[in-house]
Amino acid sequence: MPTGRRAGSVGPVIGLPDDVTACLFDLDGVLTSTAALHEIAWKQTFDEFLAAHAGPDEPEFSERDYTAYVDGRPRADGVRTFLASRGITLPEGLPNDDPEDPTVNGVGNRKNGLVLKIIEERGVQPFPGSVAYLEAAHQAGLAIGVVTSSANGARVLDAAGLTRFVQARIDGLTIGERKLRGKPAPDSFLAGAADLGATPATTAVFEDALAGVKAGHDGGFRFVVGVNRADQAEELRANGADIVVLDLAELLDES
Ligand SMILES: O=P(O)(O)OC[C@H]1O[C@@H](O)[C@H](O)[C@@H](O)[C@@H]1O
């Protein structure tokens, strides 16, 4: 068999159903450890915002807020969704709003300045198990795409040394240009599959965010791998993951 995968419902070499021909990987938190850096930037942004614009009893931005309202969504959707959970609606503003402006764009710009600074300081590390998995998927002859809500996707892939694996990339910029709905809508994964010349019926999705797992499930993708980086295995399953792993290396056949 050209892919080197064993016959059966789940092949041991890359741990996917045998009819899968393409893989779509989320980036932050699946291929690179940058989800934690986004979370730090969001926390500082929202805590400063709430201190300035909400009452003194308003709780700080929590890890749960990140996973429920921000993780996996395009930047502006993260701003809107989290603030809506606190009963706050901001005007949209304009793309070049000042980071201090109380607008969706202003808050998003504040967060982007912070995350770029943090990425610059700490660098970008790919997960070793994810690099091994990309190598195996490439060797198995699968088409490989990256679907990320981040407008910084190309930069992060380059910094992690992963661009060489990627045959199609949908990122936050593409999502804006093509006017796609962000995760949890399936649009960005559907666009990624189309760009690879694949169909959802033969494509696997790899996601760590609840919004992303839901997008893969609702898009009718063949197999949705939930990557449990935030102790939320049950939530990943509830949102549509077919399997939950702690690291992509678990899917590889070690024997
Ligand atoms: O602000 P960016 O770089 O465009 O990223 C948008 C979102 O991209 C997603 O990949 C991250 O999970 C989110 O945390 C992040 O907010």
pLDDT in tens, 131-165: 999 999 999 999 999 999 999 999 999 999 999 99
Structure tokens at 255: 């024997």
Positions annotated as catalytic residues are: 26, 28
Calculate how far, in angstroms, residue 199's C-alpha sits from the geometric centre of ligand 1.
25
- Report whether pLDDT(11) > 60: no
Domain 22-34+125-251 is of which CATH architecture?
3-Layer(aba) Sandwich (3.40)
Structure tokens at 184: 């949890």
Calculate how far, in angstroms, residue 44's C-alpha sits from the geometric centre of ligand 1.
15
In the chain, % of residues over pLDDT 70: 94
CA distance 236 to 239: 5
Nearest ligand 1 atom to the CA of 73 is 7
Nearest ligand 1 atom to the CA of 74 is 6
Calculate how far, in angstroms, residue 155's C-alpha sits from the geometric centre of ligand 1.
13
CA distance 50 to 159: 33
Question: Which tens digits make up the pLDDT trace of 78-91?
Answer: 999 999 999 999 99
Of residues 5 and 213, more confidently modeled = 213
With bands split at pLDDT 50, 70 and 90, how would you rate the model's confidence at 9?
A: very low
Ligand 1 pocket at CB < 6 A: 27-28, 35, 38, 70-72, 74-75, 78, 112, 115, 148-152, 172, 209
Omega of the bond prior to 186 within 30 degrees of 0, cis?
Answer: no
Mean pLDDT for 44-62 is 95
Burial class (CB in 10 A: 0-12, 13-18, 19+), 129: middle
CA distance 47 to 182: 24
Whole-number pLDDT of residue 13: 62
Alpha-carbon distances, residue 64 vs 34, 76, 82, 149 (angstroms): 17, 19, 11, 19
- Report whether pLDDT(111) > 90: yes
Mean pLDDT for 100-115 is 98
CB atoms within 10 A of CB 105: 21
* Location of structure tokens 């198995």: 140
CA distance 96 to 90: 16
pTM of the prediction? Answer: 0.93
Query: What element of type H or E holds 180?
Result: none
Sorted by where each begins, the domain ranges of the chain are 22-34+125-251, 36-122
Whole-number pLDDT of residue 73: 97
Whole-number pLDDT of residue 236: 98
Nearest ligand 1 atom to the CA of 72 is 12
Residue nearest to atom 3 of ligand 1 (CA): 150
With bands split at pLDDT 50, 70 and 90, how would you rate the model's confidence at 35?
A: very high
Contacts of 43 (CB under 8 A, 6+ apart): 60, 61, 66
